Structure 1
Amino acid sequence: MQSVFSKLKNAINGTVKEKEPLAYHTTMKIGGPADIFIEPRTIEDLRKAMDVIVSHKMKWTVIGRGSNLLVADDGIEGVVIKFGKGFAHLELEQELLRVGAGYPLVALATKVSKQGYAGLEFASGIPGSVGGAVFMNAGAHQSDIATILEKAYILFPNGEMHWLTNEEMKFSYRTSILQKERPGIVVEAIFRLVQGEKEAIIDRMLRNKAYRKETQPWDSPCAGSIFRNPLPHHAGQLIEAVGLKGHSLGGAQISPMHGNFIVNSNQATAEDVLGLIQHAKDTVLAEKGIALQTEVEIIGRK
């Protein structure tokens, strides 16, 4: 481990730390330490880091802004790679938008809307970064990433990077090919937007953002939606219907605002959150006969 740490320190520009608490890097403010934590500044730094990681057969995990993520209390084995400011590059040429995986989704939606480009208004209230949004086909307000993605630059487990087209991504509701069938991590994305009337685009974006703030606990530490909607039902409504809105376990609470959000209300642990998730699953299944599936990604030592 020490050899890998030293080689990474020498190989890349950017942050390289040992035993970095991941609670500092998740929107839920929960998570134990990473054996090694790195934040490369460029794609070339990432390539160099992957050469070291793969050659030493180290386990590795990529996080973005740490939303839609629950990290175990015992942390994550191996190397954790965070796409930070160095991966927040942006290039807009006519209607094609090329953007790094680390770009915050809300900031991106705001920026392009104000320039009169439509297509990302649905994302104006979605926390997280571009990479995670593409990985899970994030969506809201009857739209999603699949509707605008041209192609994505993917980092695969063997350290190689390739472009995948929209069709090759095999998008469906909150999923892509990268989650199970062909594991990989989004490094960059190219979106196709549409020029339109700036005032109307901004108005849609602001209305979507306002709706999120009125209905979801945006100012509390949380990971976003916990469960996928078992369409045509909605997970939040099912959880509310079985009386679990506001229910607490340890320092974690099912949000009183929205049943599909769990907030870190008082120094919650990952075990607190996992307990609430299981309780919600069991209760909804018993009373409604519907099996809830998690949307939040649960990672780390078991």
Structure 2
Amino acid sequence: MKIENIKQAFPNADIKLNESLSNYTYTKTGGLADAAIFPKNQEEVAAVIKWLRDNKIELTIIGNASNLIIRDGGIRDAVLILTDMDDIAVDGKRVTAKSGASIIDTSKAAYEAGLTGLEFSYGIPGSVGGAVYMNAGAYGGEVREVIETVTVLTREGNLKTYSNEEMNFDYRYSKIQESQDIILETTFLLESGKKDEIWEEMDELMALRQSKQPLEYPSCGSVFKRPPGYFAGKLIQDAGLQGKQIGGVQVSTKHAGFMVNVDEGTATDYIELIQYVQAAIKEKFNVILETEVRVIGEK
């Protein structure tokens, strides 16, 4: 069965064939997807997953693609983009967000309900699903600290709800990176707080982010994990690599931990610059920089 037949199988679904993934990545790079699928709800996800599985068609899942590089060769078969599943609900001290909801909107919903605990995430550009997948964090906080449960659909089509402990969270890691389950929704368990104090912290962190990060350019967010005993950005800065450019992609002069698309850069430019920086830091400081950003797709 060819992937093109998916449009006949799901005539009412939002499916785009030979779609440029650069339209959906924060880097504004990435090749074509054979089929980009935008499900509206859990039932549609389950039906699509079953069809793909029955027809032995590979599946890749992306959310907001804010910490992701998709190679210029694109992605074969099906790409599931969950950004249309973005409902957020508040019940007491619990905020439940679908995987496509932005973590920024989720932190705003918590604030509106007078709930504290998600302030650190205000400004993280990713989706809830992506934040859970990689245990996103900023300014001393991580999502694992406030997650109660995560509901997923397995690749076999089974619905499961994992507790916080079952997610095996670690630094920029969750079990989903191994299981490849599809995150459907996440429930955050927060605490009551004073709205003015919550907003003050959110506003302060957003101002800090805007002053220190190169938000005026497309980027893939923080490129490297924090190496033990060091800060990646400081190492890159000390190595004199700020402003280093390959093709249209540059090590940010504003924050050395970021790489920005300043002149119609490609995913290949990003990957080559990442490798250049890794080699330079290894040679100068004997420190191995591991990528935080995910790199997927065909070369």
1:66 alignment counterpart: 65
Which amino acid is the alignment partner of residue 66 of structure 1? A
Looking at structure 2, the residues matched to 224 and 273 of structure 1 have their Cα atoms a distance apart, in angstroms, of 12
Question: Of the candidates 285, 288, 292, which is equivalent to residue 291 of structure 1?
Answer: 288
Question: Of the candidates 155, 158, 162, which is equivalent to residue 157 of structure 1?
Answer: 155
Range 36-45 or range 112-121, more displaced: 112-121
Looking at structure 1, the residues matched to 109 and 149 of structure 2 have their Cα atoms a distance apart, in angstroms, of 21
Match of 1:294, SS state, is coil
Question: Of the candidates 206, 212, 215, which is equivalent to residue 209 of structure 1?
Answer: 206
Looking at structure 2, the residues matched to 102 and 186 of structure 1 have their Cα atoms a distance apart, in angstroms, of 9
Any conservation in 2 of the 1:11–1:48 contact (CA below 8 Å)?
A: no
Any conservation in 2 of the 1:70–1:299 contact (CA below 8 Å)?
A: yes
What is the root-mean-square deviation in Å for CA atoms of aligned residues?
1.3
1:80 alignment counterpart: 79
Deviation >6 Å, runs of 4+ = none
User: Deviation string for 1:84-131 (max 9, x for gaps)?
Assistant: 22x111111000111100011112212321331101100011111000
Any conservation in 1 of the 2:96–2:186 contact (CA below 8 Å)?
A: yes
Range 219-228 or range 103-112, more displaced: 103-112
Structure 2 alignment gaps of length 5 or more: none
Any conservation in 1 of the 2:71–2:267 contact (CA below 8 Å)?
A: yes
Deviation at 1:9, TM superposition (A): 4.3
Any conservation in 2 of the 1:9–1:16 contact (CA below 8 Å)?
A: no
The number of residues matched between the two structures is: 299
With normalisation by structure 1, the TM-score equals 0.96
User: Deviation string for 1:224-261 (max 9, x for gaps)?
Assistant: 11100113311111111101111100000011111111
1:120 alignment counterpart: 118
Match of 2:120, SS state, is helix
Any conservation in 2 of the 1:148–1:191 contact (CA below 8 Å)?
A: yes
Deviation at 1:155, TM superposition (A): 2.8
Which amino acid is the alignment partner of residue 183 of structure 2? V
Which amino acid is the alignment partner of residue 136 of structure 1? M
Which amino acid is the alignment partner of residue 266 of structure 1? D
Match of 2:76, SS state, is strand
Deviation at 1:12, TM superposition (A): 6.4
2:136 alignment counterpart: 138
Question: Of the candidates 167, 173, 176, which is equivalent to residue 174 of structure 2?
Answer: 176
Match of 1:153, SS state, is strand
Structure 1 alignment gaps of length 5 or more: none
Query: What percent of counterpart residues are identical?
Result: 34
